[in-house]
Amino acid sequence: MRVFYIISIILLTSTQLKSQTNRPAQDPVARVTRFYPNPAVSQITFDIDQLPNQVYSFQVYNFVGKKVLDLPSVNQHTVVNVSDFYRGVYIFQLRDRTGKTIDSGKFQVAH
């Protein structure tokens, strides 16, 4: 039984590796190229590399996971006012129109 288990794991692993190496190139997606200043005091700027004719939403969550900001549409150069945010670490997510997370990261607010 143990031999069967080991052989099945080896076959499964080799199949997964082979499927990963034969993948076609994925379509380009939007992403946050940079954000500054970090840590932020009153505002933070997000530079977003967007695809033309695509709408992206932008959410910010505090470290506990509560959504503190939801922008239904963003520009390539989006400025977020963080003067009402508490001091701490925040997580941002860039999502496409289907709700799939395209890019995410974290930044810090320091007052």
Domain-located, residue 6: no
Residue 86 scores a pLDDT above 70: yes
Domain-located, residue 4: no
Peptide bond into 39 cis (omega under 30): yes
| Model pLDDT for residues 34-62, shown as the tens digit of each residue | 999 999 999 999 999 988 888 999 999 99
Q: Is 70 exposed, middle or buried (0-12, 13-18, 19+ CB in 10 A)?
A: exposed
What number of residues does the chain have?
Answer: 111
Domain limits for position 59: 26-109
Q: Which residue has the tokens 């031999």?
A: 3
The stretch 62-84 carries a mean pLDDT of 95
Residue type present at position 4: F
Domain-located, residue 53: yes
Give SS3 for 7.
Answer: helix
Please tell me the total count of domains within the chain.
1
| pLDDT score of 38 | 95
Domain-located, residue 8: no
**pTM of the entire predicted model:** 0.73
Q: Of 93, 45, 47, 48, which is closest to residue 68 (Cα–Cα)? A: 93
What's the gap between Cα 26 and its chain centre? 17
Read off the CATH number of the domain in which 40 is found.
2.60.40.10
